Amino acid sequence: MKLLPSPLVCRDAVELVSDYLDGTLSRRDRRRLEKHLAACDACQAYVEQVRATVAASGRVGPEDLPGDVVEGLVNLFRQYRSDN
């Protein structure tokens, strides 16, 4: 597990995204990443792009992600839309 300074900066957040999408991120780091994403449009867009990319490549499809990760993303994007 990586020890990262808090709060996350974008560079740290981006490093966590692949693990986040793989569902291998620790619960603590996942919360920190989600907190960053809730406040950062750029990283939200990045997550969406990476997720679309891995889905298209067939390496990691949404069906391979743990349910709570998918649920977290859905909540995240729902929250993002409601804020705009």
Q: Which is nearer to Zn ion, 10 or 52 (CB)?
A: 10
- The rounded distance, in Å, linking the Cα atoms of 45 and 27 is 22
The end-to-end CA distance of the chain, in Å, is 34
Residue 13 or 25 having the CB closest to Zn ion: 13
Report, in Å, the least distance between residue 63 CB and Zn ion: 27
d(CA 81, CA 79): 5
Token reading at 78: 């729902």
> At closest approach, how far in Å is the CB of 8 from Zn ion?
7
Residues in the site for Zn ion, rule: CB under 5 A? 10, 13, 40, 43
Of 41 and 61, the one with the shorter C-beta distance to Zn ion is 41
